[in-house]
């Protein structure tokens, strides 16, 4: 059976359990997951009788080549076409992605029939959590392009260059190594700026004794990689070496906790316990990790609030960090697949990379 139709089949059974006769999907990565369509605009209607992708003339040829398991309707009035389908199918309950449909479009579509519309958050994201072998392969290939790119950039020498130059070089090199693109804008944060978890690369030059946090990823076959290294100078400043060891231990504890059946909160707790033992917990200001797939951040989340459990086939990041205001930061991030009995890293750069380049 083609991929598109079996994934749509799983969605239809989920919708029938919610007694939803028609579902409107607008998140483009969900549409790609269900049909293979990689365009940037469209809406997908799914009912037990079939699926229809509504998109515009720019994508007529592309949708013909890519879409599997759904009809395609080409129109320059997407939402009118969606309303037409609703009138034709007359479903008693219409499900929608309340996390992604804008309030403006929702109001337009649900006028005079608001009671039929059922907010479903994002049911497709739940289906996307467990990856098929082909999806994991795509992420491994993305990770290989990203790691290869980083090694190529670092081996040319990075001290004395600006953060922006290193980031731009890294993104260029990822494409040269087979990536379609970077999966997000790379973070290159040197010195005290390493204490900003989401620092944007600047014109600052990377100094001879700066630690540098580099968080980067590539996209291949639509799938993302996401990985972080911290490069330490030979003699790290003011306790950053100790922070590095603490983060490394915490990351190992997190990865060791990964296996099918384990609640995501437990992996997060293991990382926090480890950082607590080393005295750095108060400097860890974000969650432990997240799922990766067609989006760089997707379910499940490894955080104290997560309700998900790990299941075989999931791919998650484990990325503890310690951020010392005014001093700098350390973050180490790997992607880990949940295999039959344990977690297996699918990003391979060694944590000692700063000694090797
Ligand atoms: Zn990252
Ligand atoms: Zn991440």
Question: First vs last Cα of the chain: how many Å apart?
Answer: 47
Q: 1 pLDDT exceeds 60?
A: no
| pLDDT at 3 (0 to 100) | 46
pLDDT digits over 216-227, tens only?
999 999 999 999
CA dist list (Å): 53 to 35, 36, 169, 276, 321: 8, 11, 38, 50, 42
Rounded to the nearest whole angstrom, what is the distance from the C-alpha of residue 131 to the centroid of ligand 2? 17
**Ligand 1: distance of its center to the CA of 35 in Å?**
28
Q: From the CA of 229, how far away is ligand 1's center (Å)?
A: 9
Burial (CB < 10 A; 0-12, 13-18, 19+), residue 341, is exposed
Q: Is the pLDDT of residue 323 over 70?
A: yes
Within 209-313, residue ranges assigned H as helices are 240-256, 264-278
Ligand at minimal distance from the CA of 297 is: 2
Dist CA 342 CA 129 (whole Å): 17
Q: Which ligand is nearest to the CA of 289?
A: 2
pLDDT above 70: percentage of residues in the chain: 99
Distance 20 CA to ligand 1 centre (A): 36
Which residues touch 176 (CB under 8 Å, ≥6 apart)? Answer: 149
149-to-17, 152, 169, 221 alpha-carbon distances in Å: 46, 5, 9, 17
pTM of the model: 0.94
Stretch (H or E) spanning 77:
none
For CATH 3.90.230.10, list the domain ranges present in the chain: 133-355
Domain 3-128, CATH: 3.40.350.10
CA of 73 to the centre of ligand 1 (A): 37
pLDDT for 280-321, tens place per residue?
999 999 999 999 999 999 999 999 999 999 999 999 999 999
The arithmetic mean of pLDDT across residues 29-36, rounded, is 98
**Which residue bears the tokens 């795509």?**
138
CATH class of domain segment(s) 133-355: alpha beta
CA of 188 to the centre of ligand 1 (A): 11
**pLDDT tens by residue, 105-150:** 999 999 989 999 999 999 999 999 999 999 999 999 999 999 999 9
Model confidence pLDDT, tens digit, residues 94-104: 999 999 999 99
Distances (CA, A) of 252 to 75, 93, 169, 332, 344: 52, 47, 30, 10, 12
- Give ion ligand 2 contacts, CB < 5 A: 226, 317
Q: What's the gap in Å between 160 CA and the centre of ligand 1?
A: 24
Distance CA 170, CA 312 (A): 32
H helix intervals, the chain: 3-17, 28-35, 60-66, 78-89, 103-110, 123-128, 133-155, 163-176, 240-256, 264-278, 353-356
State in Å: Cα 216 to ligand 1 middle: 6
What is the arrangement of strands in the sheet containing 43-47, beginning at the earlier edge strand?
71-74, 50-55, 43-47, 22-25, 94-96, 117-119
**pLDDT per residue over 155-211, tens digit each?**
999 999 999 999 999 999 999 999 999 999 999 999 999 999 989 999 999 999 999
Strand partners, 317: 335
pLDDT band at 353 (very low <50, low <70, confident <90, very high): confident
Q: What is the pLDDT of residue 236?
A: 87
- Looking at the chain, which residues constitute the CATH 3.40.350.10 domain(s)? 3-128
> pLDDT tens, 227-273?
999 999 988 887 899 999 999 999 999 999 999 999 999 999 999 99
Residues pairing with 181 in the sheet: 219
Give residue 344 CA to ligand 1 midpoint distance, Å: 17
Q: What is the pLDDT of residue 146?
A: 98
């Amino acid at each position: 059976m083609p991929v598109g139709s079996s994934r749509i089949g799983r969605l239809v059974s989920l919708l029938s359990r919610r007694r939803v006769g028609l579902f409107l999907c607008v998140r483009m990565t969900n549409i790609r997951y269900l049909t293979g369509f990689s365009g940037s605009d469209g809406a997908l209607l799914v009912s037990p009788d079939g699926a229809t992708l509504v998109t515009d003339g720019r994508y007529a040829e592309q949708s013909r080549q890519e879409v599997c398991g759904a009809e395609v309707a080409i129109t320059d009035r997407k939402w009118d076409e969606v309303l037409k389908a609703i009138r034709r199918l007359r479903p008693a309950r219409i499900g929608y992605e309340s996390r992604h449909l804008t309030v403006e479009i929702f109001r337009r579509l649900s006028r005079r029939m608001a009671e039929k519309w059922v907010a479903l958050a994002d049911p497709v994201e739940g289906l996307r959590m467990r990856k098929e072998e082909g999806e994991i392969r795509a992420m491994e290939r993305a990770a290989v392009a990203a790691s290869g790119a980083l090694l190529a950039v670092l081996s040319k020498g990075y001290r004395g260059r600006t953060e922006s130059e290193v980031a731009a070089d890294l993104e260029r090199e990822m494409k040269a190594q087979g990536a379609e693109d970077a999966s997000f804008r790379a973070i290159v944060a040197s010195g005290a700026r390493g204490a900003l978890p989401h620092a944007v690369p600047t014109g600052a030059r990377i100094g001879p004794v700066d630690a540098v946090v580099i968080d980067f990823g590539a996209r291949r076959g639509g799938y993302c990689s996401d990985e972080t290294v911290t490069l330490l100078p030979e003699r790290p400043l003011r306790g950053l070496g100790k922070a590095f060891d603490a983060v490394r231990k915490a990351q190992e504890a997190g990865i060791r906790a990964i296996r099918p059946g384990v609640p995501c909160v437990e992996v997060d707790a293991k990382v926090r316990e480890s950082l607590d033992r080393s005295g750095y917990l108060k400097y860890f200001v974000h969650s432990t990790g997240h799922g990766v797939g067609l989006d760089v951040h997707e379910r499940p989340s490894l955080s104290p609030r997560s309700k998900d459990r790990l299941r075989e086939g999931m791919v998650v990041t484990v990325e503890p960090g310690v951020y010392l205001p005014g001093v700098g930061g350390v973050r180490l991030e790997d992607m880990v697949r949940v295999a039959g009995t344990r977690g297996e890293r699918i990003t391979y750069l060694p944590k000692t990379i700063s000694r090797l380049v």
